[in-house]
Amino acid sequence: MTLTDSQKRKAKALKPSSIRPAKELCSECGLCDTYYIQHVKEACAFLNQQIGELEEQTHGRSRDLDNPDDWYFGVSQGMMAARKTEPIEGAQWTGIVSSIAIQMLNRGMVEGVVCVQNTKEDRFQPMPVIARTPEEILAARVNKPTLSPNLSVLEQIEQSGMKRLLVIGVGCQIQALRAVEKELGLEKLYVLGTPCVDNVNRAGLQKFLETTSRSPETVVHYEFMQDFRVHFKHEDGSVETVPFFGLKTNQLKDVFAPSCMSCFDYVNSLADLVVGYMGAPFGWQWIVVRNDHGQTMLDLVWDQIETQPVMSQGDRHNAVQQSIPAYDKGVTLPMWAAKLMGVVIEKVGPKGLEYARFSIDSHFTRNYLYVKRNHPEKLEAHVPDYAKQIVGQYDLPDS
């Protein structure tokens, strides 16, 4: 039911910014910063996990639990690896996401784009905006590795009178968006998603940078990449790499947001189109087309990209099984051993879609244990069936 003006005023009046119904599991998606907080009990990914129902609403079907590819990657019409033939300068990868958004705006398909710039004071402090020009879209390029209240701009959308919108976001934001989609009064909503895992608040990000990078103050962006290394790009253009196995896990175990430790939507199941990296060869982007809206969006930049089929190589199972107790105990290897292990695994370890499965398995087993230990009352309802299928492949500790 659409909110009346009086209901909106009441919700706004009763909503100090400190109210977070999900409490410690809040991912700060921004919904509770708007009068749509009235829907939070149904919409919040951490109060009401409903990916299956929303997949049916958005894509026309939910996942086929007899199909392991559906367990992992969600509903899709197709996947590929891609990269722009002429990358956008300053983009984190080659700029596919920014290019799609600009095309949609320039062609009048949408009147605005919800994306995330950064504040003038801090390159890592997210600032959600409704971009109305290509320049404003380009100002949002590069991922912000912190919790971001993207949905805090929802009130502006309605107040602006916009009827055609593109939203760029991550899984928890998009689940809440889909749950209130019918309340927004839009004629067209397009959703461009990115995979997301292990976000932090700003203080947590600083701890990660200072614990991991040789020069935390000059890091422009970073990513956990398919070569089993974290890649830090610095202001001078240099790239620093740190092997996964050399991270100071004992110091970083508690740095990630509880919401991320309780998330089972790494692949952004409810977006129309997903652009990430984890299912593609190193240097390429992984694209998942989930529905016809997604195909329409991809077609806009088809003449700007080169593509190749997705591939899968190796076996992730042993590596995942070994990672479960290692993470649990906060094992940190000496750097020489971590580098050696990284070289070996890069040569013989999982690649392409198998690397994506490795990453999903590693995080889902960890997150299942987190929910079981910290929120056992939520375990059955909160963990989706597809995630239970994935976790069930491994031996987990009893407690």
- List, for residues 75-94, the tens digit of each pLDDT value: 999 999 999 999 999 888 89
pLDDT for residue 326 is more than 70: yes
Rounded Cα gap, residues 110 and 274, in angstroms: 18
Per-residue confidence band for 5, with pLDDT thresholds at 50, 70 and 90: low
Rounded Cα gap, residues 57 and 279, in angstroms: 26
Residue 9, helix vs strand vs coil? helix
Tokens in use for 350?
A: 């999982």
- The pLDDT score that the predictor gives to residue 129 is 96
Task: Name the more confident of 36 and 225.
Answer: 36
- What is the DSSP pairing of strand 112-118 with strand 164-169? parallel
Rounded Cα gap, residues 177 and 158, in angstroms: 14
Range list of β-strands (E), 152-237 = 164-169, 188-193, 219-224, 229-234
Query: What is the side-by-side order of every strand in the sheet holding 229-234?
Result: 219-224, 229-234, 239-243
- The pLDDT score that the predictor gives to residue 145 is 83
- The pLDDT score that the predictor gives to residue 162 is 94
- Exposure letters 165-197 (e unless 16+ CB within 10 A, then b): bbbbbbbbbbbbbbbbbebbebeebbbbbbbbb
Contact 98, 138 (CB under 8 A): yes
- The pLDDT score that the predictor gives to residue 227 is 83
For the ranges 98-102, 296-300, 320-324, which has the lowest average pLDDT?
Answer: 320-324
pLDDT for residue 15 is more than 60: no
Average of per-residue pLDDT across 242-271: 89
> CB atoms < 10 A from the CB of 244, how many?
19
pLDDT for residue 274 is more than 90: yes
- The pLDDT score that the predictor gives to residue 101 is 98
Tokens in use for 333?
A: 């290897």
pLDDT for residue 14 is more than 50: no
- The pLDDT score that the predictor gives to residue 207 is 92
Rounded Cα gap, residues 150 and 36, in angstroms: 13
